[in-house]
Structure 1
């Protein structure tokens, strides 16, 4: 959570009383010091489980930081903001939670409004609409064996870039993996391996599967040719397109990897050289260990492999990229896939370029540290 004088350090149970907003609430009692004192006193003693409410309030501000919700929009919070928070609580760093906990978090935000002198932010109809959504969320996620994955954000990518040593073979590979998985919305199993012996040149990305080109607008892109993918038919090659990205460019990360870790055309694309000079495929557990070690140092929690795919898609959608284009680029299945994919390579930068360029232009606001 970003530091702010509006949110001083205090016990979790005191957050709804000590964390404030920039807006001035309407008067809730008459302008009399005794009445105001009684109002504040009764407010602080009207709740029992304020510690749990404090945890929910912290989650809410983390959500607002990630999605650039201004301070003015946090207190009072609109239905749209709180409805979105109800969906994304399970995807906001760092602990996926149950639907019942989401409801408790919303109750904490409601109590925060009361404690700060604001009316109930949600009407009865608003509560019904959110409960309707939460029932759907429970139906979808209630029996999942794995928790919903938190997304990687551009701020996290900046933290990784700041901390990784780009001249180090291992770190150069980590950076190429992180940017490719994010901008290409790739599954982590497509950029890493279960073990050193897991690499199969007939199935996995090799150095020769990286094609640099320019589209019809003369904008550079990289195409990765996947010979085996989760959503591909037998023998079908799927394409991943990487464009732009500014200071977080996957294209530049792949160029750096090729320079720092020279390898043969049939060697793994995402590989590094050990001290003996041997080319080694990047093992998933080692990659996530390095990534999470850095994110923890910067105050974030655990990311998962799928967090990059989710983060890339979330970023594109937040930049108003057409959802159909995101689906195509991320290789999600649908009836329209075969119709559009043939033309996509020639116009990739028109759709993905503006969004990846925005990551660089907004670096001053998204960069951490």
Structure 2
């Protein structure tokens, strides 16, 4: 029974989260070894020990990293059914102080967003009749216009594709609203925040970054199997699922060829959010589309004045548009 409880409770955390927490647990045990803390005093950890742990590594890591390391120790306690009791006000103050004391080298620059102009430039340096390039460009445009995470449309390794977990061509469908507007929807069987899966979607776009045209090109070049990986590409006599590493590596290479600075993968979702805001979509709509759990995405936004311009006019352009859309026609 105890083994079954451990097996089940492990799935409370995503695989990537477990890996991160594992790093935190390692740092905790190194701290305890250096302090000569006996093993029987490490778990359950006292509030004093937890506070000492955070205080010791403050100034060596980013504040968020320290928080995640502490959560890793907490998860270890939960997994083994041990009590986890802290002086919460003291710990909150320590974590806030740890963020203040974080070394400059640990502070990330704000992620630069992908833009339609950048994506168009990358397209010009991709060979879209090449199996890998066709898959990469289709993946780029889909994740951008669906405001999806890169990891939701790629796999972490070549040997881990699982049709029960990863998105497939058979998970794609078209939907039409009451006004006849069409969207393409993708069911993600499992995501970082939902074991039951989530839907993401895009609509056809004008211009070279149209995700529908990119998907059709990918289909023609690669002919992915209905129950294979969504962005599988032809390789030798078979198929390879598109890994996150290969996807980002190809984008970095193409960016350099185009004389552009390579961007991080997370910049795709940030760029999508910015693009939809610049198109006039309200913040709450964009937040829902991007499935942002909080308002943290606002930290990465650029062009604040352009985003806010429609909301600040003496006669709101958005209000006029809303009235035109919702009010019945005059007879």
Normalized against structure 2, the TM-score is what? 0.55
Q: Which runs of 4+ in 1 moved over 3 A?
A: 141-148
Number of residues of Structure 1 aligned to a counterpart in Structure 2: 195
**2:229 match:** 268
**1:37 match:** none
1:149 is displaced (CA, Å) by 2.0
Instruction: Determine the C-alpha separation between the residues in 2 that align with 1:300 and 1:223.
Output: 32
Instruction: Determine the C-alpha separation between the residues in 1 that align with 2:130 and 2:173.
Output: 24
Distance 1:208 1:296, change over 3 A: same
1:275 is displaced (CA, Å) by 2.6
- Structure 1 residue 158 corresponds to structure 2 residue 128: no
**SS, match of residue 223 in structure 1:** strand
CA contact (8 A) 2:122 2:258 kept: no
Alignment of 1:52-91 (within 5 A): none
**1:283 match:** 243
**SS, match of residue 139 in structure 2:** helix
**SS, match of residue 159 in structure 2:** helix
**2:212 match:** 251
**2:47 match:** none
CA contact (8 A) 2:125 2:257 kept: no
- Structure 1 residue 215 corresponds to structure 2 residue 177: yes
Pick one of 311, 315, 322 that aligns with 2:271.
311
**SS, match of residue 224 in structure 1:** strand
Instruction: Determine the C-alpha separation between the residues in 1 that align with 2:168 and 2:199.
Output: 13
CA contact (8 A) 2:146 2:202 kept: yes
Instruction: Determine the C-alpha separation between the residues in 1 that align with 2:179 and 2:126.
Output: 33
1:146 is displaced (CA, Å) by 5.3
Question: How much is the aligned-residue C-alpha RMSD, in angstroms?
Answer: 2.4
Distance 1:203 1:142, change over 3 A: farther
Q: Report Cα offsets for 1:283-338 as digits up to 9, x if no partner.
A: 1121111111111222221211111001100111122211111111111236xxxx
Normalized against structure 1, the TM-score is what? 0.49
Structure 2 unaligned segments of length 5 or more: list them: 1-98, 295-331
